[in-house]
Structure 1
Amino acid sequence: MSDLKSSTYHTPSPSNPKILIAGGGLGGLTLAILLERASIDYEIFERSTTLKPLGSATSLAPNVMPLLEQLGLLEEIKKISLEHISNGIYRESPDGESLDLLGKLDSKEPLSLPEFHSLLLSHVPSHKIHLGKRVLSISQDDDNGVLIRTSDGMTHEGDILVGCDGAYSSVRQSLYSIMKKEGSLPSSDGEEMKVCHMSILGTTNSIDPSVMPLSKDGFARCDAILGYNKPHSWRYFEVPGNR
């Protein structure tokens, strides 16, 4: 790939398209691995200057596990996750002394978010990832593909652009700007994003099994608890390393 200062398009090739991916998070890296396995050309443009995932723990729902297995990642996932034996929703009792089970959720695989991100990253060739390149604007042509302008003043060409750059996606906003000028943007999409809840995230250090005996059995519990007459709830995941 070459960095261009001009706005010229390359000649598209339907049989061998080039994919531009905005964002090097979980979604962008997973897409990159899919394309890598299919021998389809791609480039990742990440706004941050370092790939350091935020967050603490996450869980993989059953519907995503077949994809990870097809990509050949399942055994690696098992090494950084725990098999879970509890995945319920509980309600705090009025006196706060007990919990009532409201229902069970589908099976999930809890794991450390940074470790999951690092695993995906290890399967993407480093030369395919370009850091410090936030997508500022896009332009497209039905005959020639798409061109993006990044924060370092460069332009990059491709056949397809995929926005994996988060809730406040620059790709989405650029598309909305184009659609607004054309009069095709739905009014609901033009509204400000609403904050419905706020979360505080964290991961403990390794906990002494004598303090948390349940951590010794090698299984995970991923439960959610609803506070009684309180404006908050909490949930927890157990991940490898007694965390």
Structure 2
Amino acid sequence: MEDNNQEVKLAEEGQGGVIVPPVVAEKKSFGKRYAFPMILFGLCIIMAVFLLVSNNKDETKLADEGAATDFTYQDIDGNSVTMSDTNGKVRLVYFFYSNCPDVCPPTTFMMSQVQEMLKADGDFGTKAEFLSITIDPVRDTPEALRVFGDKFGADYTGWKFLRGDEAETAKLAEKYQLGVIKDNDGNFGHSNLIVVVDKKGRIRDFISPQANGSPSDMSAEELYKEMKSLM
């Protein structure tokens, strides 16, 4: 009787007379259960450390990109400014033009923010200097450059707005690893990067400012910290 009941039960379950033992869930060890979350946590820690280190560059971690090409240009007061004469200071070199319709004004504003941070430390003009070089000297007369600089509260004791020959300036930009082009309508295109030059006249970084709209762009505070690391 018992055998018959078992056969009926197996037939109803469609087992074909084969007894299937119940599946018993394997009890995983702590290591197996939590291995993947622990790996993810470890990767998060590593990434956090990497980002922390990357955001706190110092002089030893900035590559030496070669010597900054020397030049002599005129400032808005007609004085000659020679790059090598400013050695001993950390410098920002920026090629721009005042009629730029997009990136030059916000980049100059960002530089003005860095200026104020350095002035608060007493470093601007003594340990740090900005050199903004126009790629459009025909329209950027000394008067036009002063108007542009005044818009951003430029302190001319440590921020020089410079002009020279147009063709020569385009070649100079190339020597700083930057591109400058001019179309048939007189419109300019240029690499919107700020060049960081150390006290010895060596190029140490090319800064993409936030005006460029890339996630990796540098903020004013980050640029300030980088300059301080080179002093």
Under TM normalisation by the shorter chain, which class is it?
A: under 0.3
Q: Which has the higher contact order (CA 8 A, sep 6+)?
A: 1
Q: Which has the higher strand share?
A: 1
Normalising by the residue count of structure 2, what TM-score does the alignment of the two structures yield?
0.19
Higher helix share: 2
